[in-house]
Structure formats: C-alpha cells, structure tokens
Amino acid sequence: MPNAATISKGILKPHFEIKGLSNLSGDVEVSGAKNSALVLMTASLLTEEVISLNNVPELTDIKGMGEILLAMGVELRQSPSSLELCAKNLKNSEPPYELVNGLRASFFCIGPLLGKLGQAKIPLPGGCRIGARPVIEHIKGLKALGAIVTVEHGVVSASVPGTAKKLRGSAIVLDCPSVGATETILMAAVLASGKTTIENAAQEPEVQDLANMLNKMGASISGAGGPTITINGVEKLNGCSYNVIPDRIEAGTFLIAAAITRSTLRIKSVFPDHLSSVLQKLRDCGCAIEIDEDSITIIPGDINGVDITTQPFPGFPTDLQAPFMALLATAKGTSVVTEKIYENRMQHVAELQRMGASIRVQGNSAVIEGIPQLSAAPVTGGDLRSTAAMVLAGLAAKGTSKVEGLNHLDRGYAELEVKLNSVGGQIQRLP
C-alpha cells in the first residue's frame, strides 16, 4: 500500500526514502557544470563544424536541450559524458514551443541564431518557479547590436535588417550583471561586424567557460571573468573539442552534505577558486577545509550560525542558499539568510519547518534559530535547489524522510543518490 504522502490526485510520485543520521566518508566525484554545458551546446549553432563536448552531465535538462537542437536540424551524437554536435544542416530558427516551454536555457539559442542566420523566434522560457527571471537585459543587448526585437503572445521574435543579415558591434552597459544576458550577447556578438564591449558583465565561471570555448573556436574575446568584456567580431567560427568545467553548485552541495552530517568528505574534480565564498562560509561555521589542486576535503567541527547574503559571483551563490539554510537549521545560535537574486526563493522554508527547523521569514530574509536535531518528515522540493536542500536535511534528520520533487532534482544533479550512497548515504529511489 503506497504511503499517502507520495500520492497526489491518485498518481504515485517518484520520491526518495532517506534514512537519516548518516555518517558520510570517502571521496565523491563532481560532474560537469549543467549551467555551462547547456550554453556550450547552443554555441554549437555558431559553426558548421563539429563541436565535441566532454565532461557533460547526464541530466534531463541536457536531454531537453538536445531535443531542441535536433528539432532545428542539428546532428547530435551522445556517449557517456560526451556530446558531438554539428549544425551544418541548421534549418530552423524557431525551436518548438512544446520543447522550449519547460527549459529556461533554451532562450540562449536566440543569440547564436541571430548571429548565424540573422533571425530567431523563441518562446519565453519556463523552468523552475523561483521568480520572474526576466529576459529584458538580453533583449536590450540584442537591440544594441542592431536587431529588431518584438515580444508578442509570449514569443520573442528577432531579426537583423538589411541584406547582409549581420549584427554590428556596440557598447553595451548592463543594468545588472545578468549571467544569461552576458552569455546571450557574447554569442550574438562573436560574428558581428566590429567591436562589442559589455560593461557590468557577469563574472561567473560559466561565462568564462563560454568565452574560452568560443575563443577556441576562433572568436576574439578578452576580459571574461571581469566586469568588462571585449568582443572583436570574426567572419566565421570553427569546430573544437572542449571540456566542460566542474559543477561548482554540485560540489558545494556535497560540501554542505558533509557539514550537515558532521562527516569528513573529499570532493574531487573541482576548481576550488570557483567556491571561494562558499568555502569561507563553511570555515566561518566551524569547518576545516583542506584544498588540493583539484579536490577539497572538509572536516566539520561544531557548526555555528553565520549570516549569508546571496550575490553575483564571486559572492555567495543563490543556487546554494537553500542547501546552506538546511545546514544552518542544525547550527548553534542564530543565522540570517538574505536572498538578493530571486524574489521567490524561500519555498524550502515551510518544508524545513516540517522537519522541526525554527525559521521565520521577514521579506527576503530568513532568521534561523539552530536546533540540535531535525526530524524526518514527508517533504517536497518546489524547485531544483530546494529539493537538494530536502535531501541534505533528510541525511541529517532522525528517522526516515520521504522527499518528492525528483523531477526538479534530476534537472541539475546526475545520480545524486548514487553518489551520496557511495559515501555512506542511505537513499532509495521509489517507485
């Protein structure tokens, strides 16, 4: 007889059963970065030659992006952890609505399609419900490059006037350092005529990864990773083979899993400098951190409360706000977590409260009074990162928790339960 907590409108939902009070130990390997791989896949639209991507995570979002590219005529071959993409037969500048609607990263197609074909028609994207995440900065940037852009009935239509169908370089200042807008403008500008500068550009590692691959393809980009990026347009781009950077959010999730279970764990295949703000907060909490060239070992002590404010890179990442709040729910003392990136990213608070956490929300901040022990409960993650937070809370809680929301989790974590079980977790995926 299925548990009532796993039934909604008569449908049995996939869920985790997590036996708590886990003691983790050993090594865990980090997969490639989801948020980088998705954009690098769309960059394949900029060349007629083959793009070979390595260290690609096996995620539902990656599969979804592959289906979108296939629908536009891209040839795609997949093997474990790698993809080959070839857009020489690119025939469609309008990806299907039914494929685009559930995947926010699909909007990244607009930049390369405009740069390569001079036109694009992309439905406004879907994805996790954590806030508006508007694309106004993307559109302003494309208009500055000479595109005509209209938005009607939920669809963004863009075209380049004139017979040459070629964008032109421009000086662009972003109102906020949007990762998506920076990446969209980068991909649109690499084949534009003349020079483009992006001021107040996003500095995230994923932006640097895109610029590095585009340069390997023959682009001329400098300054990525800083607030000003310069792009000198080129006539064409070539194919290349490229390794996706490690997923810093997955790495951070494993670090927090170790901290919340008070376990020593080594996280392998990481770029430690991508996690500086997270590592500092873990140190502030009472964890010892040992860093090697491509691994991080965390040795938790007594966990004390800290205050966190999410910020663009190199600040504390919004994608680790929910997992870190689960940790702080078990810390000594009071913590304050302030969300400055997305306006609707406190969905996990009510679920943590069901597990006994003492949290009160005040506007875009949460005040957490740490308790000695979380209690197992049936909980549901409402988005990708809040589901990860529920998993971490389940690892530390007394009893067996049921965690729903795996459709969100599988978008951004490759076999999370397999990796955690390999280091001592007790997680079963059902049904």
- What is the reported pLDDT for 135? 84
Q: How many residues does the chain have?
A: 431
- 5 confidence band (pLDDT: 50, 70, 90): very low
- What is the reported pLDDT for 244? 98
* Structural domain spans, the chain: 4-31+246-430, 34-243
- What is the reported pLDDT for 7? 42
pLDDT at 131 over 60: no
- What is the reported pLDDT for 95? 85
- What is the reported pLDDT for 100? 80
pLDDT at 75 over 90: yes
- 425 confidence band (pLDDT: 50, 70, 90): very high
- Mean pLDDT, rounded, for 20-41: 97
Task: Compute the distance between CA of residue 213 and CA of residue 208 in angstroms, rounded to an integer.
Answer: 9
Residue bearing tokens 């810390």? 331
- What is the reported pLDDT for 2? 46
pLDDT in tens, 318-369: 999 999 999 999 999 999 999 998 777 788 999 999 999 999 999 999 999 9
Nearest partner of 411 among 38, 6, 29, 5, judged by Cα: 38
- What is the reported pLDDT for 10? 47
In sequence order, the 6+-apart residues with CB closer than 8 A to the CB of 292 are none
Burial class (CB in 10 A: 0-12, 13-18, 19+), 226: exposed
Q: What is the DSSP string of 394-409?
A: HHHSBSEEEEE-HHHH
Percent of the chain residues topping a pLDDT of 90: 84
Identical fold for domains 4-31+246-430 and 34-243, yes or no, is: yes
pLDDT in tens, 384-403: 999 999 999 999 999 999 99
pLDDT in tens, 222-249: 999 999 999 999 999 999 999 999 999 9
- Mean pLDDT, rounded, for 205-223: 98
pLDDT at 103 over 90: no
- Please compute Rg for the chain using Cα positions: 22
- What is the reported pLDDT for 384? 93
Mean pLDDT of the chain: 93
pLDDT at 262 over 80: yes
- Mean pLDDT, rounded, for 49-74: 95
The residues annotated as belonging to the active site are 128
pLDDT at 47 over 50: yes
The CATH class that applies to domain 34-243 reads: alpha beta
pTM over 0.85: yes
- What is the reported pLDDT for 98? 81
- Mean pLDDT, rounded, for 122-129: 64
Pick the CATH number of 4-31+246-430 from 3.65.10.10, 3.40.50.300, 3.40.50.1980, 3.40.50.150: 3.65.10.10
- Residue 196 bridge partners (DSSP): 231
**282: helix, coil or strand?**
helix
- What is the reported pLDDT for 155? 87
- 11 confidence band (pLDDT: 50, 70, 90): low
pLDDT at 185 over 60: yes
Nearest partner of 177 among 311, 70, 310, judged by Cα: 311
- Mean pLDDT, rounded, for 51-77: 95
Please give the backbone phi and psi of residue 390, each rounded to the nearest 5 degrees, phi first. Answer: -65, -40
- Residue 369 bridge partners (DSSP): 334, 358
Q: What is the DSSP string of 352-364?
A: HHHTT-EEEEETT
- 126 confidence band (pLDDT: 50, 70, 90): low
> Within 10 A of 92 (CB to CB), how many other CB atoms are there?
13
pLDDT at 252 over 60: yes
In sequence order, the 6+-apart residues with CB closer than 8 A to the CB of 293 are none
